[in-house]
Structure formats: structure tokens, C-alpha cells
Amino acid sequence: MRFSKLSSSTKVTDEQNRLSKEQAGLTRQEQLLKKKLILEAKKEQERKKTKIKVTTTLQAPFGVPRGGKSSYPQKGRPRLVREIQNDKVKFLILCLVFAVIIVMLWRAIPS
């Protein structure tokens, strides 16, 4: 059995094939690493957001509205228009009684 010598051109093409396969593998690895890096960056950014949100809520004073919420949240059912009007009438009656008491005290004081 005779072994034929490989020509230099076949050696070069074999080497090129090997190198191109190796390059393809390296590019796949690079893409996977880039994806992992992007995912880690997103996770880190999310952690920072939650950390900032937690520290902000812990440090915020109680009277300041946060996050676009109204400063007076609705508790229970919303008040009806009739109830609001009744409260206004009660307030006016109390003001009238207070004014009468003031006038009576003013007259009681001798001048």
C-alpha cells in the first residue's frame, strides 16, 4: 500500500475548513456571551429599579403623594352628591348658631 503525499493545496483547504469551523464556533460563543451579558445587564437594571423604589418609599414623608396617586385616596364607597349637600347645610347652620352666640355675648357685655 502506497501512501500518496498530500499536496500543499489540499493541506491548505483542510486547514481553511478547520479554521472556518473554528471561527463559526467562536462567533456562536460570542453571540451567546453577548446575549448573556445583555440579560445580566437587564437583571441588574431591574434590581436597581426595585432597590430605588423600595428606598424611595421608605424615605418618603407620609404627607407627600407618591407615584401619581391622589393625595386623598378613596376609602369605601364614594360620597354621593346629596350627602355632600347635607354636610354643607349642616355647616351653614352651625355657622349661624355660632354667630347668634357671638351676638348674644356682645349684647350681654355692658358698655
Convert the pLDDT of each residue in 42-68 to its tens digit. Answer: 999 998 888 888 777 777 566 555 555
**pLDDT tens string for the chain (111 positions)?**
556 665 678 888 989 999 999 999 999 999 999 999 999 999 999 988 888 887 777 775 665 555 555 666 666 667 788 899 999 999 999 999 999 999 999 999 876
CA distance 101 to 89: 19
Half-sphere exposure of 96 (CA within 13 A, CB side): 6
Cell of residue 31, nine digits: 453571540
Residue 80 DSSP SS3: coil
